[in-house]
Structure 1
Amino acid sequence: MRLRISLPSRIFLDADVQKVVAESPAGSFGLLPRHIDMATALVPGILAYTDEAGREQHLAVSEGILVKKADEVLVSVRTAVSGQLGELRDEVRRFTQELGEREQATRTAVAHMEADFVRRFLEFQHG
């Protein structure tokens, strides 16, 4: 099966593989060539694949999306890093921390918008 990993600026990986293991919000899962077609969100984690020579390879990936269709596995993520497994776990921690910071900034912005809406609504009622 063909594994393609796309980043916003380029194709990170385009290779024939025997197996793919990734992490979704529901947990880790594996894909083999005859697996049913599917789509799922990916969380920051380790994406492993077995290349055509039978060697297991590991990548750290940020959040993204995975689509399995026929003999293709298409992955779109913000960031992907290849390297040794121990180093990759540090990258995953960094991705998770960045995601948490972005989520906190988003929550703060939404809270400000909600407060502003309530303030304007009350001004309108009394206005």
Structure 2
Amino acid sequence: MSGALHLTVTTPMALLVEEPAALSVRAEDESGSFGILPGHTDFLTTLPASVLRWRDAGGALHFCALRSGLLTVRDGNRVAVTCREGILGDDLGALSEDVAQLRSEEADSDRRARVEQMRLHAQAVRQLMRYLRPGQTDAFAHPPQIAESGDGAAR
């Protein structure tokens, strides 16, 4: 095992980073921020929209804004990040703004997906009610009637 990490960052369309001698990597998952040094145990985690940081062999700090991805560590020195989209840059402030925008887009997408899921669920319940009560056009609009006797008592 060498004293460096071999870091790769890929998207479906490109290899963004191929760093054969990174000194350290810093990332963020749903549980918070974490660091990886040479000799790290094998590891797998999902990454939300966040900024990946690493130091190269010369000690220079590099950044990559990620749109949701997957990070794996193998053999204590191989770090691979796969993501939908990545933006390389040296200005952490600008990349942080990009990440805030990506997180906002992901939140909007999640909200739209939940609304669609609720719509499909309601439609499935309506179909089930039509199947169970075929004589009624809308089971929720017309609840079952209780028969009353002539003296007003329910039967």
State the TM bucket, normalised to the shorter chain: over 0.9
1:6-63: per-residue Cα shift (whole Å, max 9, x none)? 1121111111211100000000000011010100011111110001111111111111
| Among candidates 110, 114, 124, match of residue 121 of structure 2 | 114
Q: 1:81 aligns with which of 84, 87, 98?
A: 87
Question: Match of 1:6?
Answer: 10
Unaligned 5+ runs, structure 1: none
In the TM superposition, 1:25-104 aligns within 5 A as 25-70=30-75, 71-83=77-89, 84-104=91-111
For structure 2, the 5+ residue unaligned runs are 135-155
2:142 — aligned with what? none
Structure 2 SS opposite 1:74: strand
Distance between the aligned counterparts of 2:69 and 2:115, measured in 1?
23
RMSD, aligned CA = 0.9
**Amino acid aligned to 1:21:** R
Q: State the Cα deviation string for residues 63-115 of structure 1 (Å, max 9, x = none).
A: 11100001211101111112211100110011101101110111111011101
User: Identity of counterpart residues, as a percentage?
Assistant: 27
Greater strand proportion:
1
Amino acid across the alignment from 1:14: E
Instruction: Give the TM-score, by structure 2 length.
Output: 0.79
Q: Segments of 4+ in structure 1 off by > 4 A?
A: none
- Report the structure, 1 or 2, having the larger helix content: 1
Q: How many residues are aligned here?
A: 127
Which one has the largest radius of gyration? 2
* TM-score, normalised with respect to structure 1: 0.96
Q: Which has the higher contact order (CA 8 A, sep 6+)?
A: 1
SS at match of 1:34: coil
